[in-house]
Copies of this chain bind each other. A is one copy, B any other.
């Protein structure tokens, strides 16, 4: 390995600007691939990435409130509302008034919404699966570690909240 050397248990990293730049470019190019498949599907249905993100997290945490979703996505409520509005009107998302707190709206996917979610995440999981297989299990662990370390603290909180079952 060119970027590291081990010396008596201690590990040294030789991080040249060149290597850091490669990491930056890897993120850029990989993210394009990461979004390419869902983008094609979304286009067919007349939706965009913002719809995908909303659908993803509603599926992940059924019944989450608008405020929670807002903070996970890190956008303004006006921006989310536009997206949520179309998803609700189109019958993909259901907004239920809270039983305890009647101000809060709890979001759920309808069967139609779940169908689109499966279509989207299926494509994305396929790509992720392929990348994992190609790179191997050690690589996968490292991949997740670096990404987690790259997040802003608040985003890391959200990420860790949606923790593995494992």
A interface residues with partner B (beta carbon < 8 Å): 1-6, 11-13, 15-34, 36, 53, 56, 60, 74, 121, 124-125, 127-152, 155-156, 158-159, 162, 164-166
A33-B150, A152-B32, A155-B33 known; A26 vs B144 contact (CB < 8 Å) = yes
Q: Classify the secondary structure of A's interface with B.
A: helix
A165, closest chain B residue (CB): B18
Contact B149 A145 (CB under 8 A): no
A29-B155, A125-B20, A152-B33 known; A135 vs B146 contact (CB < 8 Å) = yes
Q: How far is the CB of A30 from chain B (nearest CB, A)?
A: 4
Residues of chain B within 8 A (CB-CB) of A165 are: 16, 18
